[in-house]
Amino acid sequence: MATLKVEDLSISFGGLKALSGVSFSVEKGEIYSIIGPNGAGKTTVFNCISGIYKPTGGKISFKELDITPFKPHQVAQVGIARSFQNIELFAHMTTMDNLMLGRHTKLKTGLWSGATFLTPNSRAAREEIKNREKVEDIIDFLELQASRNQMVMNLPYGKQKLVELARALALEPEVLLLDEPSAGMNLEEKEDLIFSIRDIRDDFGITVLLVEHDMNLVMGISDRVLALNYGQVIAEGSPADVQKHPEVLKAYLGEG
């Protein structure tokens, strides 16, 4: 049983077919990358999976559950979290608060119950402690301690991307969709990111879907790669095979 299965996915914007008949499936524990030139439809695939766009055709299943009609919060609740290409954090809040907010979408006790009004040892208070511990773990794991109490807007872009990843991870998802996580990172940050993504899979058993332009990163980390161009699949397979696939070479050359 595939963890995530996309069948014949299509979506149009006006006259533009952003995706036509895209199919692929991702197994549990895979690191699966989607590549392709600008405008190929990579982010659109993520937007369809996460319920932000309603596809005009096709089906998306998560462990055999049809999630095609799901709204974004329902997709998150079943265990699929994502980071955004254009960072969608609360810029005026700290790293810690952004992650706590991410966690609170899971909390049954409501959004701001974590404030000062909790009865000691109540269920809500205990949940709040658990949330804090989990968020602290993620901050340690991604080595974000120095950014912990800083407003997100004051962090360098590469660090903000890492906080985006952390926020998605704070939801403890089964599947993580990462849209260009290395954008704006320097070489050292990219190397750390590679280790982090591997650990996310190896230590937490999370299935990772990755959209990336950095080919070294993609080729070094992915179990399989899907290449899109003009909203269609042009190749799928091992990183080595996809990298030298004639259609892929043509698509990238065509871009100049």
Ligand X SMILES: Nc1ncnc2c1ncn2[C@@H]1O[C@H](COP(=O)(O)OP(=O)(O)OP(=O)(O)O)[C@@H](O)[C@H]1O
Is residue 83 near ligand X by the rule CB under 6 A?
no
Give whichever of 15 and 120 is closer to ligand X, judged by the CB atom: 15
Please name the residue ranges forming H helices in 79-171: 95-104, 123-141, 157-169
Residues 42-81: x/- map of binding to Mg ion (CB under 5 A)? xx--------------------------------------
Question: Closest residue to Mg ion, Cβ-based?
Answer: 43
Q: Which range touches ligand X (CB under 6 A), out of 38-46, 113-121, 195-203, 215-223?
A: 38-46
Q: Which does 41 bind (CB under 5 to 8 A by kind): Mg ion, ligand X, none?
A: ligand X
Binding mask 13-42 for Mg ion (x = CB under 5 A): -----------------------------x
Instruction: State the DSSP string of 86-111.
Output: S--S-TTSBHHHHHHHHHHTT-TT-T
Report the partner that residue 98 touches, choosing among ligand X, Mg ion, none (CB closer than 5 to 8 A by kind). none
Angle between helices 157-169 and 95-104 (to 10 degrees): 30
- Which residues sit at the interface with ligand X, rule CB under 6 A? 13, 16, 18, 36, 38-44, 85
